[in-house]
Structure 1
Amino acid sequence: MYNKYQVGSKTQISRLESVVHDAEGTRIQVSVPNKIVGMFARKVKEGEVYQIKNFMVKRNVGKFRVTNHIFKIELTMKTMISDLMQPTFPKAIFSFKPFEEIKAMQTAAEEPLFDVIGVIVGKGFVKNDTDAKMVELKLEDENCNQIYCTLWEDYVDMFLNLVDEGEMRVCSSNNASKVYLHADIEEIESFRKKS
């Protein structure tokens, strides 16, 4: 979950956004308009399983889409959310994209959000001021392919002390991305063993 702010503001929330998935890994965007954010922000917790009823379905159009699903969900005043106790429901489903495929992409709009996994092997440009924070990291996959990954805002501080040092790059989507560092996740353990 992440807050989407009014244009030009870092404090005025326009919407609460989330990307959810079903048991098969199909991702869809969920939007909560500003006027009802308070109804849902405290009810839901990232990583939990919920049943959602009485929502609107809209076409997923626009320049900054976070999923490639043709629809998105918008919660309303009549939306009902309830906890589901399903311990076997997959909490994290990844859609890893090989670095070579990323480099071959013509535009970032080809696939809005995808996952990458790699070892941090260097640091690029850093901007850390009051207007914006960003850091470029150089990642390497198990085949020694390298790509830059740009992280924004809160992720900058997390990484600045951990790294030493015209092409397509991957980039965190402000607060929409989830970054795992030394996490106990099966895919990360498998990657570590290959590297």
Structure 2
Amino acid sequence: MAARKDFIRDINPTKLAWSLGDRIHATVCKPGLELFKNRIKEHCVYSMQNFIIKLKNGKVRTTPHKYKLNFYTKTVVAVLPIETFAFNPFKFRPFHELDENGSTDGNLLFDYIGKVVGKEEVRGLITRTGDETKLITLQLEDLE
């Protein structure tokens, strides 16, 4: 009998054992950084155990899910064959969605194919944590 899979959209903090078959945002606690930095690579599929499910906190989101996974020092990860998951690293969306939803869902990352047709001057910016960074606004044009 095949193992039951849980959908990412159904996860919540009410149970401890999940069998997931989708992509979701995950973070690693500072004490776990050294432990996981050489164990987790982009574009790979993993089996994970012992993680914490938390609500997203409104920062940049790599997936639209309400929750994210938090790894800690007892989290276990194991690489799975890429064939075990319908893997596509890109999340392409039509240009009109970028135009329509850009201001309402500005923290959700997605992929777009287009060309830069204009830009504003680079501006200095101070983040919530007090770090200095730079911001540039680009004008994009759909290639279709």
Higher RCO, 1 or 2 (CA under 8 Å, sep at least 6)?
2
> Aligned partner of 2:54: which letter?
K
Aligned residue in 1 for 2:139: 138
Aligned residue in 1 for 2:58: 63
- CA offsets 1:32-86 (integer angstroms, 9 cap, x no match): 11121111011111122221111111223x2325132122111122111111123
Give the Cα–Cα distance (whole angstroms) in 1 for the partners of residues 75 and 87 of structure 2: 23
TM-score by length of 2: 0.64
Q: Following TM superposition, by how much is the alpha carbon of 1:97 offset from its aligned partner in structure 2, in angstroms? A: 2.6
Q: Following TM superposition, by how much is the alpha carbon of 1:139 offset from its aligned partner in structure 2, in angstroms? A: 2.2
Give the Cα–Cα distance (whole angstroms) in 2 for the partners of residues 135 and 68 of structure 1: 24
Aligned residue in 2 for 1:181: none
The alpha-carbon distance between structure 1 residues 83 and 71, as it changes in their structure 2 partners (threshold 3 A), is same
Give the Cα–Cα distance (whole angstroms) in 2 for the partners of residues 109 and 94 of structure 1: 18
- CA offsets 1:107-138 (integer angstroms, 9 cap, x no match): 3437722222112333332348xx42343333
Q: CA RMSD in A?
A: 3.1
TM-score by length of 1: 0.49
Give the Cα–Cα distance (whole angstroms) in 2 for the partners of residues 27 and 125 of structure 1: 36
Where does the alignment leave 5 or more consecutive residues of structure 1 unmatched?
Answer: 1-21, 144-195
Structure 1 residue aligned with 2:91, among 73, 92, 95?
Answer: 95
The total of aligned residue pairs comes to 119
Aligned residue in 1 for 2:120: 124
* 1:45 partner SS: coil
Identity of aligned residues (%): 32
